[in-house]
Amino acid sequence: MITKQAQDPTLPLWRAAVILRVLTLLFALGVIYHHWADYARPNFALAMAGVMTVWTAVVSYRYLRPNGTNLLAFTVVDLALCCAVMTTSRWILTPDGLRADAVPLVPTIWVTGVVAAGAICAGATIGAVFGGVVAAFNFGVRGYFDVDLTRDMFLLVGIGFVLGLAATSLRLSAARLAEALRVEAATAERERLARSIHDSVLQVLAHVRRRGGELGGEAAELAILAGEQETALRALVSSAPAASEDGMADLCARLKVLETDRVAVSAPATPVLVPAVVATELAAAVREALVNVERHAGDGAKAWVLLEDLGSEIVVSVRDDGVGIAPGRMAEAEREGRMGIARSLRGRLAELGGTITLETAPGEGVEWELRVNR
């Protein structure tokens, strides 16, 4: 069951904002009691005390349930009511009390709670705006500017901005953590399925392909079909696992599923994260190279895939112990108009801005080295 805290990671901040609102209410009530004799209309001050108490209960109930709709609209209403309570000080305080700053405004620091609410709800910009609005009403009700009021303005705007940054960062961190957990779970499930398929279906298809090729005749046709299905199934289980929110994917996971009894894959124990398009193209290039080994390296040829994470670049080597390629054979194939594996691999790497090198000789196998800048 998903809790509200899991749905909104800022719930602890909302709880703190409610506590702040309650504490500042108690302070405001104490100030009203202390300056009761200094008010021009003390009964009006008592009415405002009641309004603040009731409204504190209302906002506490709402802010402890921040996942509902129209929360920002509610904070705007909260701001309007706080500014209205501040404005009533024009009639509650005496003219001397307003000018000399000897008597605090009726809500005193209670209005800072709405600045915190706006910042937590909508981020740094709205938090700073709420702080500026409260400061503007503070100036307007007093009717003058001085160092103390200006200091209060900077504090209100700064607190709203900083608290808004904290709330936004908390939401982003929670979203990234949730995405990372989702990708990790999806990758683990894909790897589990890939291992299961490798240990069962792919092994059977590989056996049918080999035995059919050995028997010949109609069995050879079955071998060809089994080989095609084996290749398609390997491509399916290795294609496009879920990428993370920032478009990164684990290249290790995409290469590991290509491992068979004739193909060994060596990769780092930790994930090698690259852009998803790079992972897709490199995995496809490796599959093409392995298909070429299957078709042209000779009976019993084995292949080895090595993935290296060099920090600034990724290197993938595909080597086999087959018959190799005669000198000039690839150039001759290109002159004859055949695209060939080399042209296909070079095209993929060129699109990624990478390079590809080939080392081969008759009887010494083939080694492709694919390099891509991170």
Residue 26 has phi, psi (to 5 degrees) of -60, -40
Confirm whether 157 is domain-assigned.
Answer: yes
Query: 129 and 255: one domain?
Result: no
Query: 115 and 262: one domain?
Result: no
Query: 171 and 273: one domain?
Result: no
Confirm whether 296 is domain-assigned.
Answer: yes
Domain boundary among 176, 195, 224: 176
Structurally, the chain folds into a number of domains equal to 2
Confirm whether 189 is domain-assigned.
Answer: no
Query: 54 and 163: one domain?
Result: yes
Round to whole Å and give the CA distance between 45 and 104.
12
Q: How many CB atoms lie within 10 A of CB 107?
A: 29
Query: 12 and 147: one domain?
Result: yes
Round to whole Å and give the CA distance between 39 and 179.
57
Query: Residue 298's domain is classified under what CATH number?
Result: 3.30.565.10
Query: 32 and 145: one domain?
Result: yes
Query: 139 and 40: one domain?
Result: yes
Confirm whether 114 is domain-assigned.
Answer: yes
Confirm whether 191 is domain-assigned.
Answer: no
Contacts of 64 (CB under 8 A, 6+ apart): 14, 15, 18
C-alpha dist (Å) from residue 214 to 116, 219, 272: 77, 8, 39
Confirm whether 236 is domain-assigned.
Answer: no
Query: 253 and 151: one domain?
Result: no
Per residue of the chain (374 residues), give pLDDT as tens: 334 445 678 899 999 999 999 999 999 999 999 999 889 999 999 999 999 999 999 999 999 988 777 899 999 999 999 999 999 999 999 888 887 667 889 999 999 999 999 999 999 999 999 999 999 999 999 888 888 889 999 999 999 999 999 999 999 888 888 877 887 787 777 777 767 766 677 777 777 877 777 787 777 778 777 777 776 676 666 555 555 556 788 888 888 878 877 889 999 988 888 888 888 889 889 988 888 888 778 877 899 999 999 988 999 999 999 888 777 666 666 665 555 566 678 888 888 889 988 888 888 888 999 999 87
Domain encompassing residue 360 = 243-374
> How many CA atoms, within 13 angstroms, populate the side-chain half-sphere of residue 267?
20
Confirm whether 120 is domain-assigned.
Answer: yes
Domain boundary among 148, 176, 204: 176
Confirm whether 150 is domain-assigned.
Answer: yes
Query: 158 and 11: one domain?
Result: yes
